[in-house]
Amino acid sequence: MRRPRLVVVTGPTASGKTACGIALAQALGGEIVSADSMQVYRHLDIGTAKPSLEERGLVPHHLIDVADPDETYHVGRYRDEAATAIAGILGRGRVPIVVGGTALYLKALLRGLAEAPGRDETTRRELEARWGAGEAASLFEELRRVDPTLAARLHPNDRVRIVRGLEVWRAVGRPLSVLHAEHRFEERPYDALHLGMELDRADLYRRIDARVAAMVSAGWVDEVRRVLALGYAPGLAPLQALGYRQLCAYALRGGDLKALIVTIQQETRRFAKRQMTWFRRMDLAWTDPRAPQDAVERAKNFLQRGFATI
């Protein structure tokens, strides 16, 4: 039985995924399913680079603004909700276009999830409290001792995944990285053309710097102040994400905004470099986002022939 077909557009931050996804959806009669772990949150618009309302008016978008900042939104929920959205798109006779740079979400959607214990609220609260009390470095070192493979893949500020790794270790006494290795991620629910946005590093870094500056000019600091005024705590996971963490501190305590912008630009470039390490392992069909017609032609050929690429 033929598996459903879809097109995936991914790549590092600021690489042109949104524009390429919209071009594909318009050319193919498609709808977009976001694969971005920050765009799921309401109120966080500028700093997550959500498609504008005008862009969302061009083609239907799914899995944007589906959770409040204080909700727990995990990869399992994403996989289930994305699969439901894709089924609906296919049922309407349209083409699902999955667009985003969260590699973990893409992996779960396209290759399944490893069997791992569910949330342990007692353990989770303890670990989150320790993180909030300033023990982030200690928790990261603990993860390095019990699951060095996982720790090597993570940034020391990646609270969500560090806490999850420790939670799994405490629950079953086995590293989460081992559970992932045993699963092998061989599920293939879809035939997918997996397009990667390819830019040379210098060009990508210029785009990152320009986008961070444009976000601040567009009111990113005011957005952070509005979110805090709604009563959301700065320690919430989405407000600890890159850029939001720094701007929450600035909104609460002040400081040198120009220097902060430079810091966010530097950290975003480092983040993009780590993203590319992930994507280089994913055997993507690389395409230039500045020439979307190449992506459109590849997608048309894929959909007409119906072959699997991953």
DSSP assignment letter at 196 = E
203 and 280 in a single domain? The answer is yes
Does residue 310 lie within any of the structural domains?
no
193 and 288 in a single domain? The answer is yes
Task: Give the mean pLDDT of 149-170.
Answer: 89
Residue 294 has pLDDT above 90, yes or no: yes
Of the residues 144, 167, 183, the one at which a domain ends: 183
Which residues lie below 8 Å from residue 228, measured CB to CB, with a gap of 6+?
A: 234, 248, 251, 252
154 and 259 in a single domain? The answer is no
The interaxial angle of helices 257-280 and 244-253, nearest 10 deg, is 160
* Mean residue pLDDT across the chain: 91
How many other C-beta atoms are found inside a 10 Å radius of the C-beta of residue 55? 15
pLDDT at 310: 42
Q: How many folded domains does the chain comprise? A: 2
Residue 284's SS3 state is coil
One DSSP character per residue, 219-236 reads THHHHHHHHHHTT--TTS
Of the two residues 226 and 279, the one the predictor is more confident about is 226
**Separation in Å, CA 137 to CA 121, 124, 162:** 22, 17, 10
pLDDT at 278: 82
Of the two residues 286 and 2, the one the predictor is more confident about is 286
56 and 167 in a single domain? The answer is no
Domain holding 168, by residue range, is: 121-183
Task: Give the mean pLDDT of 44-56.
Answer: 97
Task: Give the mean pLDDT of 195-199.
Answer: 95
Does residue 18 lie within any of the structural domains?
yes
Indicate the pTM of the whole model. 0.81
Band of pLDDT at residue 184, cut at 50, 70 and 90: low
Residue 183 has pLDDT above 60, yes or no: no
Express each pLDDT in 101-119 by its tens digit: 998 899 899 988 766 677 7
Tell me the C-alpha distance between 217 and 211, whole Å.
Answer: 10
